[in-house]
């Protein structure tokens, strides 16, 4: 059950980062110059647009990473559970420290 909750959380985070990636990639984000700044020489809008694109790419990378890890955990779930039971059995057979 714990493994299913973990895989479910990974898939939820994967979907969340996918939505963030689409939002930051598609919507136009603008930043306007403050009072006293020259609008002709102001490169702030380009910087915000570029950082939005970088954040979109990072979110897409995290989407792929989360979904891939969730897929691997789901694929190897039986092996992980068997290894966990074997580790618990081995740990219970060890003598405790005085």
Question: Residue 93 half-sphere exposure, CB side, CA atoms within 13 Å?
Answer: 6
98 residues of the chain, pLDDT tens digit each = 778 898 899 889 899 999 988 888 887 666 666 665 555 555 555 666 777 788 889 999 999 999 999 999 999 988 988 998 998 898 888 887 76
Q: How wide is the angle at C-alpha 84 spanned by C-alphas 81 and 85, nearest 5°?
A: 90
Residues in the chain: 98
pLDDT at 51: 78
CB of 66 closer than 8 Å to CB of 17: yes
Q: How far is CA 98 from CA 44, 78, 93, in A?
A: 65, 35, 15
């Amino acid at each position: 059950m714990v493994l299913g909750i973990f895989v479910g959380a990974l898939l939820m985070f994967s979907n969340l980062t996918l939505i963030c990636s689409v939002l930051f990639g598609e919507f136009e984000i603008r930043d306007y110059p403050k009072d006293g700044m020259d609008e002709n020489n102001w490169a702030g809008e380009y910087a915000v647009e570029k950082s939005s694109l970088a954040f979109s790419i990072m979110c897409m990378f995290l989407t792929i990473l989360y979904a891939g890890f969730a897929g691997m955990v789901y694929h190897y779930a039986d092996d992980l559970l068997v290894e966990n039971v074997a580790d618990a059995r081995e740990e219970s057979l060890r003598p405790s420290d005085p």
